[in-house]
Amino acid sequence: MSHSLLISWGPENEIGIPIIDEQHRGIVTLINSFGFSIQHGQQTEFYLNTIFSMMDGYTKLHFATEEEFLRLAGYAELESHKGLHAALIKKSFAIASESMRLRDPEIYLQFLKEWWMTHINHCDRLYAPTMKKYLAL
């Protein structure tokens, strides 16, 4: 029985804004919990619905936090970044629904892992200098 984490969080994943890094770690924790549940056969419809609800709520909270900081910092690419967020929410719902319909939680798990790690380690790094300057970090 595997006890390894799907995503190992480390300093290389941090962008240097404390609340954003903390929220990113929270999202990774949810993804790892989801992966752990799959490894251990907890694939009931209730469990999938619970994970989806938690990811949806926490994602929206995170995006609201991030977008407000970007607005206050005057980030020039705010609308584009908000578009990425809106696309994730829409796509996440569609993929979670497909995953539940097919009774294959791996579909949703892999989507979450790939999307979030790309977003955190690439897209969010683009705004980090602007936000750090605004927050005087």
- Asked if residue 116 belongs to a domain, the reply is yes
- Asked if residue 5 belongs to a domain, the reply is no
Give the structural domain span for 62: 24-135
Domain count, the chain: 1
| CATH at residue 131 | 1.20.120.50
The mean pLDDT value of the chain amounts to 92
Query: pLDDT tens digits, residue range 113-135?
Result: 999 999 999 999 999 999 999 99
- Asked if residue 93 belongs to a domain, the reply is yes
Burial 23-60 (b: 16+ CB within 10 A, else e): bbeebbebbbebbebbeeebeeeeebeebbeebeeebe
Q: Are 8 and 29 in contact (CB under 8 A)?
A: no
Query: pLDDT tens digits, residue range 58-98?
Result: 999 999 999 999 999 999 999 999 999 999 999 999 999 99
Q: Are 61 and 80 in contact (CB under 8 A)?
A: no
- Asked if residue 101 belongs to a domain, the reply is yes
